[in-house]
Structure 1
Amino acid sequence: MRNTPDQEKELDESPLTDGSDELYERLSLKVDKGQEPLRIDKFLVQRIENASRNKIQKALEAGMVLVNNKQVQPNYKIRPLDEIVMYSDKEAHGEEIIPEELPLNIEYEDDDVMIINKPPGLVVHPASGNYSGTLINGVAWYLLQKNKELSEQDLPRWGLVHRIDKNTSGLMVLAKTEKAVRSLAKQFFDHTVKRQYMALVWGDLVEDSGTIVAHVGRHQRFRKLFDAYPEGDHGKEAITHYKVLERFGYVTLVQCVLETGRTHQIRVHMQHIGHPLFNDDTYGGDKIVKGTVFSKYRQFVDNCFAVCPRHALHAKTIGFVHPATGKDMLFESELPADMREVIAKWRNYIANRLA
């Protein structure tokens, strides 16, 4: 038996894989009044499209299934009006994780979580056509060195609960236990994780601060791109709060705080309001957007592009409740060298013009 139309209305699915940097989704279901007692693993297999009993049982064993907000065992028998929540990896990751020795900038680590400061240019996890040299390949090697008893099957693809773009730098949190996965997945889904980014954008923003509310989803024509849909007719809800930190006339340094975690959210939202990220070759920031086209200015901008050869975006802050201790954790990182240098160049350029 599959979901009836009425049951489908009660099934709450989180943002789709192609619209979110958060790698887990939440499925919720309320049991009918007349439901007979039935093992929860059998019930979920019947209700969730393409779900295998093996996958359901693994989710139950990992504590990724809650009934009335409590963890249950696979032999739990559902009751009428039970409220079931299941957290599930949204992507099918059957690819082998090949451990590789790679430099990792680990800001913090304990038995439950790891905070990594990702450099620009590093892909987060293996995907089609890109099976090695990723952050997760490096994490796999690192964990194997710390614990020789680990098998390669135990290595944490599942420990990754969110991601940032290849050319975005900054902080990421990885889970090292199943309990940590469950806790962090829920915090990301509930939008309680604190994430602050620094971005250099084109133009001089009119307001010192503001909020951008526009759904983000696949571009209707160019499927590799994302677009903003302020009417909410496509994509998923996305909210970005921004604050001006420093103005350089032609470009502006801003702080962005995310309520939601859609793929390319800041890049798409800033383009949507007419201020694409500096040197963002996907969303129009890799050309002169503001200012003249005279040779000296053009040469200066080209020099800035050479200094920061990627979109100028850095995940500066991440905060969450620790999965084991319940304490608030907050981590901050410095801007990387390329962004520091390009900001200094703009600061000097404007100072010399005003002199």
Structure 2
Amino acid sequence: MLEERDIQIEENTEELYERKSFTIDKGQEPLRIDKWVQEHMTNVTRNKIQQAIEACFITVNGKSVKNNYKVRPLDEIVVLSLSNPISEEVKPEPVPLDIVYEDDAIMVLNKPKNMVVHPGVGNYSGTLLNGIAYHLLQQNPNLDEETLPRYGLVHRIDKNTTGLLVCAKTAEAAAHLAKQFFNHTVSRKYVALVWGNVEEEEGTIVAHIARHQRFRKIFDAYPEGETGKHAITHYSVLERFNYVTLVECRLETGRTHQIRVHMKHIGHTLFNDLEYGGDRILKGTIYTRYKQFVDNCFAVCPRCALHAKTLGFIHPVTNKEMFFESPLPSDIIRVVDKWRDYIQTKTNV
């Protein structure tokens, strides 16, 4: 009997692909891989499978193969496919893009605040992906979502999070990048302003993440077990302001809202994070002067104070290490400066 194992459905993660791993039965007769996959996966055509094999989305024993490869007993087959697919057609639109780097295989972008990454309920146009589609079609008018699913988008960040994203310009590059995200070899560091004085200079948060049991639009942290997906966040303190702390977070996994959920889990909700309760005073007094100061800070940074600062990965064609860094946006710089001045003023009194 076929053994299917290590199924990782990344439905509620930053990564936009799912991975299924199979071990071929010991009694399997030689059979073309495209035919074997078609027999063991639902709602997929032979043509789609052949395209996936050519794009390296299907591998055998960790290596790419041709469509005419014949599976053998105990072969390890890995299939990457889109998870949580975008229900709406992506319409190309001339949305301005801040392109940090681009070549024939990849594109690295710096996403601004208040921009949704891809179309969804309530956001059918004006997204980053609408702009990416338009940009790529100017270079290759024959490109479509058949040849390059989601126009190369392999991960995402929240609407109000700023910072770096990488997207692929070919299906082969998309498969290569998707594998790096699955293997947790992509280096990602974020900078966040959080409520409270984080006691330890550095630490690691390990807690499963799943949808909140009552409020389905947000996520919650759960003990290691069957609920949710395994998630790990490493953090270190950059600067302290008594009532808030500037921290750097390094993702080992990539779950939706991971930093926001994990930091709240240890008692340090992100500053002005509306969905997780950070848009009110969580540390300090309730006196009018302090309240007015915090309200002014909220006005300066009217969003969750989170920025995807660095991104590192292996280039899918050259195999060279690529590293990018995005400076803090002006709203986070301004709110940090306000807190720094506030603490210095209190200290000098």
TM range (shorter): over 0.9
Does residue 178 (structure 1) correspond to residue 181 (structure 2)? The answer is: no
CA distance in 1, matches of 2:316, 2:22: 25
CA distance in 2, matches of 1:248, 1:61: 53
- Larger mean CA deviation between 139-148 and 106-115 belongs to 139-148
Does residue 244 (structure 1) correspond to residue 237 (structure 2)? The answer is: yes
Superposed counterparts of 1:254-333, under 5 Å: 254-333=247-326
Specify the alignment match of 2:160 in structure 1.
Answer: 167
> For the structure 1 residues 169 and 212, does the alpha-carbon distance in structure 2 shift closer, same or farther, using more than 3 Å as the test?
same
Counterpart secondary structure, 1:132 = coil
Counterpart residue type for residue 108 of structure 2:
I
Q: Report Cα offsets for 1:195-225 as digits up to 9, x if no partner.
A: 0000000000110100000011111222211
| TM score, norm. by length of structure 2 | 0.95
Does residue 107 (structure 1) correspond to residue 100 (structure 2)? The answer is: yes
Structure 2 residue aligned with 1:17, among 8, 11, 14?
11
Superposed counterparts of 1:75-224, under 5 Å: 75-93=68-86, 95-150=88-143, 157-224=150-217
CA distance in 1, matches of 2:48, 2:165: 27
Gaps of 5+ in 2: none
Counterpart secondary structure, 1:13 = strand
Identity of aligned residues (%): 63
Gaps of 5+ in 1: none
CA distance in 2, matches of 1:230, 1:205: 21
Runs of 4+ displaced beyond 6 Å: none
CA distance in 2, matches of 1:219, 1:90: 21
CA distance in 2, matches of 1:152, 1:201: 39
1:169–1:315 CA contact under 8 A, matched in 2: yes
| TM score, norm. by length of structure 1 | 0.94
Structure 2 residue aligned with 1:62, among 25, 35, 55?
55
2:132–2:151 CA contact under 8 A, matched in 1: no
1:210–1:241 CA contact under 8 A, matched in 2: yes
CA distance in 2, matches of 1:255, 1:214: 18
- Larger mean CA deviation between 238-247 and 54-63 belongs to 54-63
Counterpart secondary structure, 2:84 = coil
2:148–2:171 CA contact under 8 A, matched in 1: no
Task: Give me the CA root mean square deviation.
Answer: 1.7
* Count of aligned pairs: 348
> For the structure 1 residues 15 and 178, does the alpha-carbon distance in structure 2 shift closer, same or farther, using more than 3 Å as the test?
same
> For the structure 1 residues 12 and 153, does the alpha-carbon distance in structure 2 shift closer, same or farther, using more than 3 Å as the test?
closer
Q: Report Cα offsets for 1:23-44 as digits up to 9, x if no partner.
A: 1122111101101122222222
1:156–1:176 CA contact under 8 A, matched in 2: no
Q: Report Cα offsets for 1:244-283 as digits up to 9, x if no partner.
A: 0000000000000000000000000000000000000111
Specify the alignment match of 1:226 in structure 2.
Answer: 219
